[in-house]
Structures are given as C-alpha cells and as structure tokens.
Amino acid sequence: MATSVSSTRLPFADRDVAHLPGHWLLARLGKRVLRPGGARLTTALLGDARLAGADVVEFAPGIGRTASEIVAAHPASYTGVDQDPSAVDLVRAVVGSRGQVVHADAEHTGLQDGAYDVVVGEAMLTMQTDRGKAEIVAEARRLLRPGGRYAVHELALTPDHLDDDTKTEVRRALARSIKVNARPLTIAEWRELFERNGFTVQAVRTAPMALLQTRRLVADEGVRGTLRLSWNVLRDRAALRRVLDMWSTFRRYRREMVAVALVADKRPA
C-alpha cells in the first residue's frame, strides 16, 4: 500500500487492520492530520501558546505533524516525549537538529522540574482514564516555569449539561469504533480538570468534530492528499470497513461531540 508515511515505521505496524487504533489506521492509510479539530484548530492553539523563543515540550507527538509546526515557530528549544519507540524515530526524523525526542511516558517524562515555558498535548488526554488525565496534567505542571502554559487540543462532549447516560453511550461507541478507550469530557469538565490541578484556563476555542468529512479532509490534507487517502482506503476492504464504521460513529454523535483547544497558565504554588 503506497502511503505518505511508511507503515513499517508506524507504531502498531504489525497489528491487523481490525484491531489497529483508529488514528494509527488513518496514519497507515496516509492521513497526516489526526486531530479532532483539524489543522486550523491546531494552528490557532499554537498561536495562543506563544511559542517563539519558548522552551517547548510536546507530549505524544505521534507522526510529528504538530512538531513540524512548533519548530517552524522558532522556539528556544523543542523536546518531544513519546512512549512508543517507532513514534520517537518518526518525530526525530521530522525535527532533525531543531529539537530532541525522548522515549518516556507523559506521566513520568524524567525531564527537569520547572525548565519549560510551554507544554503541548493533542488528542492524548482524551484517551486516558480520569487518574491518567490527572497524572499527565500534574506532570505538565511540574515541567513548567511559573506562568508557563499548557496547550491542549482534545475531543469534548457537548453540551456541558449532557446527561450521564448519553456520555456513557458516546464513550462506548467511540471505544468500539476507534479501538481505544476514549473518555472525552465536556468543556466544563476539561476546565475543572486544569483548575483542580493548578492551572487557570486563559483561552478556549472549539471546532466541529469533522475528522472524516470531505470538506475537512480537503482542508487538512489538500486535494491530492485526500485522493491518495481515498484510494488507499478503497483498495483495502478491511480498512474500508473500519473507516466507514468510524465515519458512521462520528456522524451519529456529531451533535454530542466537538473539538476543543485550551491554553491554561500555571498558577503560583
């Protein structure tokens, strides 16, 4: 299968299509933008984070799409942290001499206390348990200097008063479809998570959760990239079944899901 990223270098490269996490399936098929709010929301998030001249850490950079934007913004330094060795190799190839990438968990990075100005994380807190979310946010706070900024791009449930039964239904449907135990929060719950762990939310942006819609695909991947992705999907029946199932799930719950980007400042101790 011809893709823009070699499948042999991707995490889970040996896993069959039926059990591959949804975002890595799309990456294997050639999709480059894997964030719920698309490239435009990521660009806005990075602008709000004020990267120029900053020491930046990125949690779970994946295939390095956002890493390339971060280093292009001329930070003082870039450090990626990923638990998957294959992802580490991918991002090292993207940033080259402009940064470093370390193999570690986001909960326990091993990086120096209070040595960074910005921590960036996209589409990774959503995949954690409540405890895991809190541990990662606490680690971001440990890494940041006073007044440092934690910038995230995640999936949210909407509206804030969504009932618990519907939240459970959406989370279960997502988990079945993308093969990852996704646990998105409402925007109010995301705010509360950061406030409870020593941050003050300063900026919130939202965008439709339109990851597999044609208009978003063209905006994120370009016409040629969209055609290449479509060809790769259509020539692989197992992948086509998975992508159609994800598309159906996203469409079914389009009124209950939204992409959210938040920037939160570290409060004084």
Reported in sequence order, the residue ranges of the chain that DSSP labels E, i.e. its strands, are 55-59, 77-82, 100-103, 116-122, 144-157, 185-186, 199-208, 257-266
Question: Phi then psi for 51, rounded to 5 degrees?
Answer: -90, -25
Asked if 196 and 188 touch (Cβ cutoff 8 Å), the reply is no
* Gap between the Cα atoms of 141 and 12, Å rounded: 30
Which residues are 150's β-sheet partners? 119, 264
Q: What is the pLDDT of residue 13?
A: 67
Q: What is the pLDDT of residues 223-264, one digit of tens each?
A: 999 999 999 999 999 999 999 999 999 999 999 999 999 999
Q: Measuring CA to CA, which residue among 62, 58, 60, 41 is closest to residue 118? A: 58
* Gap between the Cα atoms of 152 and 143, Å rounded: 15
Q: Give the H/E segment covering residue 235.
A: none
- What residues have CB less than 8 Å from 173, skipping those under 6 apart? 249, 252, 253
How far lies 165's CA from each of 28, 143, 169, in Å? 34, 37, 6
Reported in sequence order, the residue ranges of 60-178 that DSSP labels E, i.e. its strands, are 77-82, 100-103, 116-122, 144-157
Q: Which two tokens stand for residue 21?
A: 């996490």
Q: What is the pLDDT of residue 1?
A: 34
Neighbours of 19 (CB within 10 A): 10
User: What predicted TM-score, i.e. pTM, was given to this entire model?
Assistant: 0.93
Asked if 244 and 30 touch (Cβ cutoff 8 Å), the reply is no
Domains and CATH numbers, the chain: 7-264 (3.40.50.150)
Q: Which two tokens stand for residue 64?
A: 């390095």
> Reduced to 3 DSSP states, what percent helix, strand and coil does the chain have, rounded to the nearest 5?
45, 20, 30
Q: What is the pLDDT of residue 269?
A: 80
3-state secondary structure of 178: helix
Q: Which two tokens stand for residue 53?
A: 């001249």
Q: What is the pLDDT of residue 15?
A: 77
The low-confidence residues of the chain, meaning pLDDT below 70, are 1-9, 12-13
